Amino acid sequence: MSCQLNLLAYFQDVRSVKRYLFPDQVEEQKKEDNFEGWDDEDWSWKENDQEVDNKESILLSWLQDCHVSLSPTGDLLVLAKDDRIVHLGQKWDSQDEDVQTKYDKLFEGSIIQDEGERITCVLCLPLASQKRSTHGGPDWTCVIVGFTSGFVRIYTENGTLLLSQIFSEDCITRIKCHTYTPPRHEGDGERHEELTVLYSKSLVTIDGFSFFQSLKACKNQVARAAASGSELLQPPPLAYKKWALLEQEQIMDYTPCVPVVPNAFDQMRVDCVNIGCNASYKNVLPASYLYVTTGVGPYANFYYTVHGSSQPLLSDVAHAVATKLKSAFLSAASGWLGLGRHTPDNARDKKRPKIEPATPLGARFGLYDKRRVGESVLPSPDGRLAVITDSFGRVILFDVRGGVAVRMWKGYRDAQLGWLEAKEEQSQESESSAASSGATLFAASSPLRRSYFLVIYAPRRGILEVWATQHGPRVAAFSVSKWCRLLCLGYSIMGLNNVTCHNVKIPIHGLYLIDLDGSVKTINVPFHLALSDKNSKRARDMHLLKQLKTLLKENINESGALQSDVIETLLDIKMASIRQQGLERLLHTKYLSTGFLQGVINAVSQQMETLMAEQDESSVECIDFESRMLLQFCRFHQLLIGTYASLGRLVPCSEETGNKGGSSETLLTLLHLSLNELEAVTATVKKFLTLVENELHVSFKSDQSLSIVDFVSCFECRVRKLEEKDKEGENVETVSSALTAAILPNLSEAKRIKLANFIFRTGFCSSPNADYVQLLSESSIPPADLMSLLLQVWLNSDRRTLQEVPSLYSLVLCITKLGDSDVGNWWSSYRKSCAQSPNICSALMLALVGRSIAKDQKETAMSGSSGSGTFELLADWETVTFDQEHWSDLVKQLEDLLVLHCLLKMKPFHESLNRASANPDPIVVSLRRVLDGGKGIIPEFVAKWISGNGIPPYLLCPTDDDAPQVKGHDPKTSVHYQRQVSLQHPSRRVAFQKSKSLSLSASPLIAQLQDVQHCFPHTLSSDVLMANCAWEFVVIWNRDPEVVYPLEQALAYLKCIQNAVLQHGLATMIWQMFAVKKLSSAAFLTEKVGKAPKDRLCRKDVGLSEVSLEKFLMRTVDLLEIIIQASVDSHEVPVFKVEDLWQNIQGPTSLVELAVEQKEANADLVEHHYALSVILHAILHFSMKSIKPLSLFDTKGKNAFFKPLHSLPLLSYRVADESIVSARTQFLSRVITQAVIALGERPISASLSSSAADSSPSLGGNFQQLAAGSDSVRWPVRVSKLAETFGIAADVLTRHRVVELYSSGLDRMAEEVLLTVSDHSAMGVDLLTIAGQRLSHFIFVCDPPGNLEKLAKCSTDVSTWIKTMDPSLVRCPNPPLSATATLLGHVVNELSEGQSEYELALELVDLVHLLM
């Protein structure tokens, strides 16, 4: 790759630009074109040719006479002449096929404000965007214009004036800018943003940050004024520093250079030179900036401006004070003497702004040449170098820090200069190849290098040259027009910092060449031209390497011509390391075939071998280390490509042969199994494969083909020591040819499987023949890597069959023979791979094959060493015994896990059963995971499968015939009894009836579960399995608390646990980890709102909806009931055993072991939480209002809530506070009322209400039967328990329930409860009121004929009392009169004869008989 001059854009209409800027030249040219006639002078031979040339040069040099500036982003181009200016904006033209970027007019006009002023310089400066979407990119571009009047004015792209300020009354010579540049070398300072303006004798510097902010404010003000139509406000002046540049007669140009970092030695040297040996030394040195000027007397000057301040010396302070006092005394004396009272000449010009005086700045040193005049100076991008053009046609390169001329070019009069920066290009591919091949061309950790090129445009010769600095040659030359304009900007976007400077994505060009026809061009110089001269091997080879990459990229198919070009290019590269990079790039090209690559590598290898054959064997210099590495690289890849081609040729033969499979006799012989063992393994494998085939899964056909590029990229070359010296240290051996193609250690699993499929698909189709075995042995792939690939590809699939086992046996045997010396160390990793694989079926087959081959090898080794001593034979037999024991344990463990895996692969037996998890996570089982997962890992797997499929406990609990009888155990706590209790609920009875219809489909599931329990009799015992199922269901519920079904199933499994200790421990764990936090949130929320909270509050504070929270509280009550019942029962602490085969299991403590280690719960504290749970459930179930649950407890009770159940807080149920007792009684009465109302809304059949059963000792009634019919009837039982806990008289609540039942018309249920009432007198009075309300409704509301006449026959007291009764207070006021008559009969029986209501009751009985 060489230097290039690229066309970037061109002017849309260059003639209109020239016509506007030079109207005089256009008019003169028109006159000459339109003149017609004869002129004798035109026909004379005395024509002055020099005049014609001068006129032509004036017409063509219009671009040289303009002030031109182009933005670094290329979006704005400005041309100015005298008082006129033209703005050209970048425009995209998609119709032009050659150059789609054009510059079109944005603004043209005269911008002169004062009479007589002219434009002296222009500058286009892009400003960074502060928007988030374009952060770091350009937002807009300002145009900075300098005038002869000393004004600096700033405009927008469309010519709107933003800011105008004058710093000096002299003419502005130059305006330059430098933007933020990060430090390029360690120890360099950052180049901050700054705008500088050069006058004839002074220099003004403006800080970039304040300048950027001022321009933003001015632009915003202009936009607001344009939108509102208001006048513009005068912006505040810019803050600046002004320096008077002394000790130079005339300044033609200047440049700001790099900031100078303080250095003690340089400071001492400067002070000694300038002041002398008596100079004082300052400890704290200020930073400074270097400015280089060029002009006349001296030719070049170096100024240093100090930024900040240093610590002053005492002598300096004294001198400054004396100077101030002297100036003050002289000014006072002049006033006394009447001096200085005249009016200055400039006082009348009051409109001119105040101009601050300049601070004198002396030059530190300069370069004197009386005859030489400096015309321009231009710094390098890093500020360390600068070039100056002069009147003698010289271009001199300076080291600005040392002030030394480094180089001089002659013969460049009126030259225009520019700098180009080239960065080193190094791809990741080259870095990796250099690192892998051992090449030392690049260091992976070294940063990319940069180089600078000096561009010189000589207009008189019409040539553009590119030179390598500082002492490099000319690397390129272009023939261009003599009327071009070279623009070197030296800055980028203003407003960037150390973060945003890396976000600039648009191209920033620092050098532009504008031609006379309006074309704008850029120059591209590659980095490698700066490395050395044009004969450099490395630069030439790098160029050829890039040419090779371009050649491979431009082609998409291989051809003979392409192969010839590639071979020619590679053979032309001289350096071995770069040639190796070319070969690596070739090996990464995917469209190349095996023959193509083999031909190229053979050509390179043949050239190297020919070169070695031509050299003397004792000569080492001509065959260096890199050449040897290249030769090794070629031989290694020749071997790999040959192996790939041979494997590809064997595939068609193996596919035609096919896999014949293995018979039972073959398997018995190969695997050393008995007939029973083979039948058991065959049955389990067939069952597993059937389950796998029935799975619904989506698979995409993957491309199993392996290209040569992918095949080669899987290996790395490993060799022995390359150089070995003899004892005398003179001779060196050549590169060893013993190469090994080892698999890359960091190769991805997908690539390894693809590689293994390519290598072993021939062996899997049929038993490997002699050719295939020889190919594997000659491939130089280590047998250990071949074994690793074989294990990985076999264990990658879970659909391996027993018919493939003979082929697997042959492959394993073949590989073990290839690595005969190391095969003894393979079997441990072999067993480890089987243990780590999640495909249990494939791992079992692999373990059977490995056990058989290992056994045969051990027996062969033992028979071969039969002549050894007795002690050695015993040691060998001991090793064989241990090894066979490991193999036997592995095979047995895999067989058990395969049975378990079959269970986990089975699907739910009926789709109608609810699933706890809609999409259960797949359960991954491997032997290593089981051995490291602890003793509870296997029941955890089974429980996860049960919970994921939503299997209820009544399908797993034993039936009536299978129910175990435990001696000394309460039959009510047995699994059978718990199952019967769980089936009392109607919904569960329906599910149980459904399970009976599904018994046939469920039998395979139960049979497989029994097979698993046969393999793990201790690990999967009934209580252990039920405990794990309960826990897994709770975990599923905790993931999605809105679905309460898993929590219900968890409690159902919890009830099936027979051991009370285990049941109690697991229930307390569930309470502590899952229930207590939500219960506390619900309690505090209900206490805060004083009623049943709404859905929004429930979701916010508890994380549950209103409906789900009510169900959760109901299940919390059930959980506490289980804990209470388990605390009452007494059982021994269970001992959990593990099968002998699985004694080496290690890992965390199992769930059941943690459960039995739980501390015993405090019964009083459990009852305390039970009371709160029932209260909260009642509030939410009945949507009760005006109730605060925590107010029903005293201070001690409130403090005891939500503490660990085994703690012993102070509790007092029977409180002495009458208000709390009254509140409790009132609340329980409201619960009874709501329960009866709910019962009345869902009437129960008469047969159910009248069936005989054991009644509650406190409230009475057939509550157990009613509980099976309706949840609302269960509330009186809970109220009875709470009344007993709180110490409230049960008879009061019983009477209230009787009244509520009669009020709802449930007379038959009320009669049952009436039998348990103790206070008959009070009961009779309450029932008398109910009877009176019924009669009042019958007489006055129903009003049957003759009711009033019959009422008139009664006494006045009866009629008056009936009229006072309010029938609206009764929920069911119109029962049959027979029911009312029965009620009055009970009233008469309850009242005593001495009571006043007794006579009234008798009269009411008579009245009812009259009404009937």
Q: Read out DSSP for 1156-1182?
A: HTSPPPPHHHHHHHHHHHHHHHHHHHT
Q: Tell me if 259 sits within 8 A of 190, measured CB to CB.
A: yes
Give the pLDDT of residue 528: 74
Q: Which of 109-113, 188-192, 643-647, 1327-1331 has the lowest mean pLDDT?
A: 188-192
Phi, psi of 138 (to 5 degrees): -75, 140
Burial class (CB in 10 A: 0-12, 13-18, 19+), 680: middle
Name, of 427-436, 1020-1029, 1365-1374, the range with top average pLDDT. Answer: 1020-1029
Give the pLDDT of residue 163: 92
Residue found by looking up tokens 């035109």 in the block: 42
Q: Given a cut of 50, is residue 871 above it in pLDDT? A: no
At residue 1005 the predicted structure's pLDDT band, cuts being 50, 70 and 90, is: confident
At residue 902 the predicted structure's pLDDT band, cuts being 50, 70 and 90, is: very high
Burial class (CB in 10 A: 0-12, 13-18, 19+), 1255: middle
- Of 1299 and 772, the one with more pLDDT: 1299
At residue 524's C-alpha, the angle toward residues 519 and 526, to 5°, is 170
Q: Tell me if 124 sits within 8 A of 70, measured CB to CB.
A: yes
State mean pLDDT over 866-872.
49
Q: Is the peptide bond before 1046 cis (omega within 30 degrees of 0)?
A: no
Between β-strands 363-367 and 300-307, what pairing exists: parallel, antiparallel or unpaired? antiparallel
Name, of 3-7, 272-276, 1209-1213, 1293-1297, the range with top average pLDDT. Answer: 1293-1297
State mean pLDDT over 363-378.
91
Determine what percent of the chain falls in helix, strand and coil, rounding each to the nearest 5: 50, 15, 35
Q: Given a cut of 50, is residue 509 above it in pLDDT? A: yes
Distance between CA atoms of 1392 and 989, rounded to whole angstroms?
48
Give the pLDDT of residue 539: 73
Q: Given a cut of 60, is residue 671 above it in pLDDT? A: yes
Burial class (CB in 10 A: 0-12, 13-18, 19+), 796: middle
Q: Tell me if 616 sits within 8 A of 474, measured CB to CB.
A: no
Name, of 332-341, 653-662, 1144-1153, the range with top average pLDDT. Answer: 1144-1153
Q: pLDDT > 70: what percent of the chain?
A: 78
Residue found by looking up tokens 């509102």 in the block: 228
Give the pLDDT of residue 119: 95
State mean pLDDT over 996-1006.
56
Mean pLDDT of the chain: 80
State mean pLDDT over 99-120.
90
In tens, the pLDDT along 1257-1266 reads 333 334 333 3
Q: Tell me if 1034 sits within 8 A of 1069, measured CB to CB.
A: no
At residue 1246 the predicted structure's pLDDT band, cuts being 50, 70 and 90, is: very low
Q: Given a cut of 60, is residue 328 above it in pLDDT? A: no
- Give the strand order in the sheet containing 359-361: 172-178, 194-199, 202-207, 240-245, 359-361
The encoded tokens of residue 764 equal 């899997």
State mean pLDDT over 1093-1121.
94
Q: Tell me the β-bridge partners of 245.
A: 361
At residue 533 the predicted structure's pLDDT band, cuts being 50, 70 and 90, is: low
At residue 1177's C-alpha, the angle toward residues 1173 and 1178, to 5°, is 120
The encoded tokens of residue 824 equal 């003894």
Q: Given a cut of 70, is residue 869 above it in pLDDT? A: no
Residues in contact with 786: Cβ distance below 8 Å, sequence separation at least 6, in sequence order: 759, 776, 815, 818
State mean pLDDT over 565-572.
90
- Of 1024 and 42, the one with more pLDDT: 1024
Give the pLDDT of residue 351: 54
Q: Given a cut of 90, is residue 1121 above it in pLDDT? A: yes
State mean pLDDT over 573-588.
90
Q: Given a cut of 80, is residue 1350 above it in pLDDT? A: no
The encoded tokens of residue 1196 equal 């001690």
Q: Cα–chain-centroid distance for residue 947?
A: 32
Helix (H) or strand (E) segment spanning residue 119: strand 119-128
The encoded tokens of residue 535 equal 């004969």
At residue 769 the predicted structure's pLDDT band, cuts being 50, 70 and 90, is: confident
Q: Is the peptide bond before 470 cis (omega within 30 degrees of 0)?
A: yes
Hey, CA dihedral for 970, 974, 980, 985, is it positive or negative? positive
Hey, CA dihedral for 638, 644, 645, 650, is it positive or negative? positive
Give the pLDDT of residue 1346: 63
Give the pLDDT of residue 975: 36
At residue 89 the predicted structure's pLDDT band, cuts being 50, 70 and 90, is: very high
Q: Given a cut of 90, is residue 1337 above it in pLDDT? A: no
Helices 1218-1241 and 1163-1181: crossing angle in degrees, nearest 10, is 50
At residue 268's C-alpha, the angle toward residues 267 and 272, to 5°, is 120
Q: Which of 408-422, 828-842, 1357-1371 has the lowest mean pLDDT?
A: 1357-1371
At residue 1402 the predicted structure's pLDDT band, cuts being 50, 70 and 90, is: confident
The encoded tokens of residue 796 equal 């990658």
Distance between CA atoms of 1127 and 1061, rounded to whole angstroms?
8
At residue 688's C-alpha, the angle toward residues 685 and 690, to 5°, is 110
Distance between CA atoms of 302 and 304, rounded to whole angstroms?
7
At residue 35 the predicted structure's pLDDT band, cuts being 50, 70 and 90, is: very low
Q: How far apart are the first and last CA of the chain?
A: 123
Q: Given a cut of 90, is residue 147 above it in pLDDT? A: yes
List, as one string, the DSSP characters of 569-620. Answer: HHHH---HHHHHHHHHHHHT-TT--HHHHHHHHHHHHHHHHHHHHHS-TT--
Q: Given a cut of 50, is residue 1376 above it in pLDDT? A: yes
SS3 state of residue 207: strand
Distance between CA atoms of 879 and 861, rounded to whole angstroms?
12
Q: In terms of C-beta distances under 8 Å and separation of at least 24 residues, what long-range contacts does 273-281 make, across chains too?
A: 274/364, 280/313, 280/315
Q: Given a cut of 80, is residue 1183 above it in pLDDT? A: yes
Name, of 260-269, 362-371, 761-770, 1019-1028, the range with top average pLDDT. Answer: 1019-1028
Q: Tell me if 624 sits within 8 A of 732, measured CB to CB.
A: no
Q: Given a cut of 80, is residue 983 above it in pLDDT? A: no
State mean pLDDT over 699-714.
75
Hey, CA dihedral for 408, 413, 418, 422, is it positive or negative? negative
Q: Tell me if 193 sits within 8 A of 212, measured CB to CB.
A: yes
Q: Given a cut of 60, is residue 1280 above it in pLDDT? A: yes
Q: pLDDT > 90: what percent of the chain?
A: 39
Helices 805-818 and 770-778: crossing angle in degrees, nearest 10, is 40
State mean pLDDT over 439-467.
76
Give the pLDDT of residue 694: 79
Q: Tell me if 54 sits within 8 A of 70, measured CB to CB.
A: no
Give the pLDDT of residue 31: 54
Q: Given a cut of 70, is residue 76 above it in pLDDT? A: yes
At residue 37 the predicted structure's pLDDT band, cuts being 50, 70 and 90, is: very low
Q: Tell me if 1276 sits within 8 A of 1282, measured CB to CB.
A: no
Hey, CA dihedral for 1298, 1301, 1307, 1310, is it positive or negative? negative
For 982, other C-beta atoms within 10 Å of its C-beta total: 21
* Of 847, 1073, 986, 895, the residue nearest 1266 (C-alpha): 986
Q: Given a cut of 90, is residue 890 above it in pLDDT? A: yes
Give the pLDDT of residue 1250: 35
The encoded tokens of residue 158 equal 């469309």
Q: Given a cut of 80, is residue 621 above it in pLDDT? A: no
CA dist 1097 → 470, 1042, 1109, 1112 (Å): 78, 15, 11, 16
Q: Tell me if 211 sits within 8 A of 175, measured CB to CB.
A: no
Q: Given a cut of 80, is residue 712 above it in pLDDT? A: yes
Distance between CA atoms of 1069 and 1159, rounded to whole angstroms?
10
- Of 1165 and 281, the one with more pLDDT: 1165
Distance between CA atoms of 157 and 169, rounded to whole angstroms?
27
Distance between CA atoms of 1386 and 1382, rounded to whole angstroms?
6
Q: Tell me if 499 sits within 8 A of 493, measured CB to CB.
A: no
List, as one string, the DSSP characters of 1353-1368. Answer: TS-HHHHHHHHH--GG
In tens, the pLDDT along 735-759 reads 445 678 888 888 888 899 999 888 8
State mean pLDDT over 357-362.
91
